[in-house]
Amino acid sequence: MKFSARRLRSAATAVAGAALAAAFGLAAVMPTTTAAYTDAEYAGGFDFTVGQVPLPDIEFTKLAAGYNHALALAANGSVYAWGYNGYGQLGTGDTTNRTTPVKLTALSGKTITDIAAGAYQSYFLDSTGAVWAVGDGYYGALGQGNTNTSTSIVQVSVPETVASLSAYRYTAGAITTAGNVYSWGNDDYGVAGFGDSSDYSLTPTQIAVANVKQVAYGMYGGIAVTNDGQVYTWGDNQYGELGANFSGAGVSTVIDSLGTVVKAYDNAPGHFVIQPGGLPVVGNLDAVDDVKSVGIGYTTVSLILNDGTLYTWGYDDSAELGQGDTSYGQGPKRPTQIATGITDAKKYLGNAYNNWGVLTESGTIYLWGYAQSAGGNGDGRAAGTILTAPTLSTQLPGTYRDAVNVQNEGGDNTILALSSDGTEVYAAGSGDYGIFGNGTTGPANTGAGIAWTKPDPLG
């Protein structure tokens, strides 16, 4: 449906938007003024059924988030970004923060098929298999052969055609169409998987895993799952993050339950790293070829089986593992099922200090862990509250296509959730640097989640 020139946002639109927000227990931010648009600006037609402004007919497929900045990938291959932009990581060509989503015009002419976000970096994969990056180049995180920061989007020279991306903090990686993995950036504790004690790589470097369908990086290590369901881990093992049922220093070889010998490299006092190559961490499970996806956060690791069951292991200071207790510092060193009745887990919401979660196949969000400050965790809990087991989110009670756990400096978190139809994004938690995307900034949201204003047609 097209609208004539100077057609204004109507009171009915505001009522409909408020009613939708109320139905989901969300506090929508509605406009206080009206605005007129020209016929040309309405050329594509806009949906007046929900939301705060006349909205373009855009469906989103995926979210990604770094430290207080977020990306949204549209089905048409465009990308929107918002939040903190101190290193130019939003891809807007400047260092100005954005409190509402903006379309990345620098990617015009490219069809983007995947996105990822590091601490202060953004990564984009286009339909030709080429990789692009922008933001903070510390540790070589932009893969340019140097440590320079770039506010302009630059191409990363991966030797093969790339199929998907992954990133965490200052480490990034690409899976190729052949199933190979190239990592670049930070390699402290062996997080990048190079199999040695190098501190970083300024350019993409292939690591020793093959036939990979997913790779993830955390604070101190990495994990990958192959197309036939084998899982490989590498990095620091102070808290048993490798899933090999041991921890500590002075180990030269490890023999897992399948009899595979894996060489270990000393890297730091009291720590060691495992070179990728033959360590299925699911050796204590009945089927090692049944892994759907893997995830890793600060010092906790997870895997989801094809039957939807969720397993975690590693560090458990503040109920990070969701195992029902807080065994200060040390949790299980082998994958251990979360016994909460979750049988349709889809995606692990890690990559944060204290607050964790899972998105299910049915679209619901469960959260657990420690609330650093009031409301700064994505579900409105009081400061100091610990949820020891997965609990259905009270601030995001709807059903969602995708969700991400945004890391905020100081330990607070924000959960961003993409509606099941792909047309709305909701935020709950800390609102620093405009990460809510609705034009506001400020402290943690102690009430209900805030509905995100969809991309403005003029943006």
- State which residues of the chain have pLDDT below 70: 1-57, 196-197, 244-289, 326-329, 351-353, 373-378, 409-412, 442-459
pLDDT of residue 85: 97
pLDDT of residue 377: 67
Instruction: Specify the fold of 60-451.
Output: Methylamine Dehydrogenase; Chain H (2.130.10)
pLDDT of residue 16: 37
pLDDT of residue 25: 35
pLDDT of residue 119: 94
Cα 442 to Cα 65, 99, 136, 432, distances in angstroms = 18, 11, 24, 5
Q: Would you give the DSSP letter of residue 183? A: E
pLDDT of residue 409: 62
pLDDT of residue 233: 81
Cα 296 to Cα 66, 107, 166, 219, distances in angstroms = 15, 30, 11, 8
In 3D, which of 439, 354, 449 has the Cα closest to residue 100?
A: 439
Helix (H) or strand (E) holding 404, with range, is strand 400-407
Please tell me the distance from the alpha carbon of residue 224 to that of residue 233, in angstroms, as a whole number: 7
Which pTM does this prediction carry?
0.81
What secondary structure does DSSP assign to 224-264, as a single string?
EEETTS-EEEEE--TTSTTSSS--SS---EEE-TT--EEEE
The token pair that represents 153 in the structure block: 């989007």
pLDDT of residue 1: 24
pLDDT of residue 80: 93
Per-residue pLDDT tens for 395-420? 888 899 999 998 776 666 788 899 89
pLDDT of residue 442: 64
pLDDT of residue 14: 34
Q: What are the structural domain ranges in the chain?
A: 60-451
Cα 128 to Cα 94, 101, 183, distances in angstroms = 27, 26, 19
